A and B are shown apart, each in its own frame.
Chain A
Amino acid sequence: MMRRRFLGIAVSALVLGAAGCAEQSVGGKEEPAAAAYPSKTLQIMAPAAAGGGWDTTARSMQKALQDASLLNGQSAEVRNVNGAAGTIGLAELVSSHSGNAHQLMITGLVMIGGVVTNKSQVNLTGTTPIATLTSESEVVVVRADSPYQSLKDLLDAAKADPTAVKWGGGSAGGTDHILVGLLAKAAGADAKTVAKQYVAYSGGGEAKAALLSGDISVGVSGASEFADLVKAGDLRALAVSGAAPEDVGAGTPTPTIKDAGYEVELLNWRGVVAPPGISDADRTAVIGLVDKLHASDAWKQALAEKKWQDFYKSGDEAKAYFESESTRITSVLAEIGLGQ
């Protein structure tokens, strides 16, 4: 079994290499391996159910690859493997697709959290990182009649009494919860107790309703989530978690968390990985393809339509980023008591 797989890898590498050489001798192009990739249908796995965020990323990628004619005459397919914050798909990628350069998977910050909270056997570092593609900042909002005028007011209150502030956002251990932990840490508050005041909601809608009803005092979610209510004056945005100030509905840019004096930056990013065990030539080819995807107009159009921030790192840069994010997120989750 193992040997056969190995053989398969060797053969595919050989074929790829040969095809690359042939291409080179004819056209004399600079990227020999990339020209022949993909040599069969490209499979993109969305490790979530059809219709969700990762699924949308996968399908946008598929569409842009096809529209920009980057597939070398081949086609791309999106397949869904749902479950446990993407860790079911991750386990499948690592266990049954090792060495297959035509199988990619969408991933993201949420998966790192999922690996920790679901105690997954397989880690994101077990894959071959290819690139990060998009990101979204987080936003911290309060009701318009809230006493907290700034992020500092809010965190001072949480520091003085960790149970005083009731936070709300997406699933436990998800991006929103992680940000609450990071903020509490940065403010020098009791991070574990503060994170315990976090109420998980099943989606932005429920969290919005809870803010309006007065159940929670602070909402944490993706930057665009509360835009309409901020615009209408029902909510006030205190800070965004990205590197630069951003307009999240107020009409003027909302300052970053760093502007408020706390060393916290958190991006809800999404990216793409390949299975482990692919050859260096294959890895170069895949990275080459995604580089071209990123440069294409079709992808730029997809970003604009879906209002995703361009957040591109590929190859070694992506590998380093995946690793540093894994370390950081894992330690935060452990500190707020979710990593055990």
Chain B
Amino acid sequence: MNAFADLVDGFGTVLTPQNLLYAAIGVTVGTLVGMLPGIGPALTIALLLPVALELDDPTGTLIMFAGIYYGAMYGGSTTSILLNTPGESASVATSIEGYQMARRGRARAALATAAIGSFVAAIITTVLLTFVTEPMARLAVSFRASDYFALALLAMVTVTAVVGASLVRGLMSLTFGLFLGVVGIDALTGQARFTFGVASMLDGIDVVVVIVGLFAVGEALFIASRLRDLPEKPVPLEPATGFAWLSRADWARSWRPWLRGTALGFPFGALPSGGAELPTFLSYMYEKRRAKNKDEFGRGAIEGVAGPEAANNASFSGVLVPLLTLGIPTSATAAVMLAAFSYFNLSPGPQLFQTQSSLVWALIASLFVGNVLLLALNLPLIRLWVKVLQVPRPLLYAGILVFATLGVYAVSGNIVDVLLAYGIGLVAMLMRHLDFPIAPAILGLILGPLMETQFRRALLLADGDLSIFVTRPLTLALLLLAVAALALPHLPKLFRGRRADRLAVVTGED
């Protein structure tokens, strides 16, 4: 295999003190920005670009940027788990079980399974990236609008599992998210919808604003409303057992979710309209559905952290596939990295592997190195991170509010966005009191616009002919899967439900 020799050369490039330093800086900065709500890797890279140009070292710069991207994902999981304040949408699924684990004294195990899962996913997918890039990219760009619609629909019906214990509350939360997704200018026609005459709302409600509102602000307000009932001291940490804070049972329960999350994350990342959120939620759903002890979900099931976190990291390698081979960025961060390439007079695309092969292989090698660094950085740091839980609550949540405001205000400079985040925070506090799950709202916000846009694109491209959704084999297959996913899990329940009804009739209740 030629790729192997190239990769060895790549390692030769990366393993110089200077490039190792770049990688180390990148992963550290990335970890930090990943922890701040609202300040993501895309923004950081965009702002660091001018500095990077001064350095005039394309290889080193790109190694650093890849480190930031990965580091942000490791950092994002930390705050999601410890404080229930995910910084971006891809960390929301991790926070569902992760925070519950932290609340039960299992913070270290949750952080460990997230870090190791991320590492495993990154290493496997980087190997895949090394060998299947070209065919994978060609496959990814064969997806059409109707396929994306069907895929989004499939995701929508399968993730109803995230909806939580009460179906109607989960659906209400999902609907709220769907509604937030409709607000703003319609992407295809430019018509304003539900903007209520507020110009700032024409752009729609940014997903960062919603996440900061639902999680950081909502959580702080909720804490404020429950001060008297909350214990003053945090739950004591469970004694550390086993290897790397994971007991034998934890390892046994984590490794399959890591692999399954990886398998979901990589292809979704490669799809031009896939993104990192969908695979994380799909992984969560899958783990929940497979779990033998379903009751544990919602109370800190380690599978619910291991799977989504692996999926999140795997999607990044997926993102690199169309970026490197076709110059197609599939995430905001990838778009900024593309800009970085062009500043250095490199154009990602079919030729990049030929014209700049040493750079590409150095970048791929740096992914291995960066992830080793991140694992080495994050596992020992768990000891430090859990100290966050010892910080007195007033100081901690006042700080979270400062960062929440900063994340929205500093980036957009738009006060309407800040007020919206606060308003959504108020709604989120009420949702917490009334036991509405929060995560479905994020799903609605992400999936709703995807479904609508792709549906209408497909229809427009087919001159309004609905048969487009049944004549294209891939679309049809995905739609049939969606129907199956909707019907299958409910069949047994339906029968059981009917029997229960009959029983109720027999016993003459009500």
Q: Tell me, yes or no, whether A binds B.
A: yes
Binding site for B on A (CB under 8 A): 49-51, 55-56, 59-60, 63, 79-84, 87-88, 91, 117-120, 163, 166, 171-173, 197, 199-200, 202-206, 208-210, 212-216, 224, 227-229, 231-232, 234, 305-307, 338
Q: Mark B176-205, 1 if CB is under 8 A from A, else 0.
A: 000000000111111010000001101100
Cβ–Cβ contact B190 & A173, under 8 A: yes
Q: How far is the CA of A88 from the CA of B203 in the complex (A)?
A: 10
Cβ–Cβ contact B187 & A171, under 8 A: yes
Contact A59-B190, Cβ < 8 Å, known A81-B414, A199-B460:
no
Q: Return the contact of B322 from the options A59, A87, A200, A209 (Cβ within 8 A).
A: A209
Q: How far is the CA of A51 from the CA of B335 in the complex (A)?
A: 10
Question: Chain B residue with minimal CB distance to A120?
Answer: B199
Question: Chain A residue with minimal CB distance to B146?
Answer: A215
Q: Which of B253-261, B341-349, B371-379 contacts A (4 or more CB under 8 A)?
A: B341-349
Q: How far is the CA of A119 from the CA of B201 in the complex (A)?
A: 13
Contact A216-B322, Cβ < 8 Å, known A50-B46, A84-B200, A228-B350:
no
Cβ–Cβ contact A83 & B326, under 8 A: no
- A58 CB to closest chain B CB (Å) equals 11
Q: Which of B12-20, B88-96, B136-144, B489-497 contacts A (4 or more CB under 8 A)?
A: B136-144
Q: Mark B74-98, 1 if CB is under 8 A from A, else 0.
A: 0000000000000000000000000
Cβ–Cβ contact A231 & B199, under 8 A: no
Q: How far is the CA of A204 from the CA of B336 in the complex (A)?
A: 12
Contact A117-B185, Cβ < 8 Å, known A203-B335, A212-B141, A214-B144:
yes
Question: Chain B residue with minimal CB distance to A116?
Answer: B190
Contact A80-B199, Cβ < 8 Å, known A205-B335, A305-B343:
no
**Can you report 21 residue pairs joining A to B where beta carbons are below 8 Å apart?**
A49-B411, A51-B336, A63-B50, A84-B200, A88-B199, A88-B414, A118-B199, A166-B460, A203-B329, A205-B322, A205-B327, A205-B329, A205-B334, A209-B273, A212-B141, A212-B326, A227-B349, A228-B326, A231-B350, A306-B343, A307-B342
Contact A50-B199, Cβ < 8 Å, known A205-B335, A215-B145, A231-B349:
no
Q: Return the contact of A84 from the options B43, B141, B199, B322 (Cβ within 8 A).
A: B199
- For B28, the chain A residues whose CB sits under 8 A away are none
- B478 CB to closest chain A CB (Å) equals 15
Cβ–Cβ contact A229 & B349, under 8 A: yes
Q: How far is the CA of A202 from the CA of B188 in the complex (A)?
A: 10
Q: How far is the CA of A306 from the CA of B327 in the complex (A)?
A: 17
Question: Chain B residue with minimal CB distance to A113?
Answer: B190
Question: Chain A residue with minimal CB distance to B412?
Answer: A82
Most buried by A among B336, B348, B351, B413: B413
- For A173, the chain B residues whose CB sits under 8 A away are 190
- B8 CB to closest chain A CB (Å) equals 27
Cβ–Cβ contact A215 & B200, under 8 A: no
Q: How far is the CA of A211 from the CA of B429 in the complex (A)?
A: 45
Q: How far is the CA of A338 from the CA of B411 in the complex (A)?
A: 30
Cβ–Cβ contact A50 & B202, under 8 A: no
Q: Mark B324-358, 1 if CB is under 8 A from A, else 0.
A: 00111110001110100011000111111000000
Q: How far is the CA of A24 from the CA of B250 in the complex (A)?
A: 79
Question: Chain A residue with minimal CB distance to B54?
Answer: A63
- For A81, the chain B residues whose CB sits under 8 A away are 412-414
Q: Does B299 contact A (CB under 8 A)?
A: no
- B207 CB to closest chain A CB (Å) equals 13
Q: Does B463 contact A (CB under 8 A)?
A: yes
Contact A229-B326, Cβ < 8 Å, known A87-B199, A215-B145, A307-B342:
yes
Question: Chain B residue with minimal CB distance to A87?
Answer: B199
Question: Chain B residue with minimal CB distance to A62?
Answer: B50
Q: Does B53 contact A (CB under 8 A)?
A: yes
- For B483, the chain A residues whose CB sits under 8 A away are none
Q: Does B461 contact A (CB under 8 A)?
A: yes
Q: How far is the CA of A87 from the CA of B463 in the complex (A)?
A: 33
Q: Return the contact of B328 from the options A49, A202, A208 (Cβ within 8 A).
A: A208
Q: Does B71 contact A (CB under 8 A)?
A: no
Q: Mark B23-48, 1 if CB is under 8 A from A, else 0.
A: 00000000000000000001100110
Q: How far is the CA of A195 from the CA of B103 in the complex (A)?
A: 55
Contact A80-B461, Cβ < 8 Å, known A55-B46, A228-B350:
no
Question: Chain A residue with minimal CB distance to B464?
Answer: A163
A-B contacts besides A172-B187, A224-B342, 19 pairs, CB < 8 Å? A50-B411, A82-B413, A83-B202, A87-B199, A88-B199, A88-B414, A166-B461, A172-B188, A173-B190, A199-B188, A200-B188, A205-B327, A208-B326, A209-B272, A213-B141, A215-B461, A231-B351, A232-B349, A307-B342
- For B190, the chain A residues whose CB sits under 8 A away are 117, 171-173, 338
Most buried by A among B190, B330, B412, B463: B190
Q: Return the contact of B43 from the options A50, A204, A206 (Cβ within 8 A).
A: A50
Contact A228-B43, Cβ < 8 Å, known A216-B461, A306-B343:
no
Contact A51-B272, Cβ < 8 Å, known A87-B199, A173-B190, A212-B141:
no
- A206 CB to closest chain B CB (Å) equals 6
Q: Return the contact of A83 from the options B187, B203, B327, B460 (Cβ within 8 A).
A: B203
Contact A51-B47, Cβ < 8 Å, known A82-B412, A209-B328, A228-B348:
yes
- For A206, the chain B residues whose CB sits under 8 A away are 272-273, 328
Question: Chain A residue with minimal CB distance to B49?
Answer: A56
Cβ–Cβ contact A82 & B326, under 8 A: no
Q: How far is the CA of A59 from the CA of B197 in the complex (A)?
A: 32
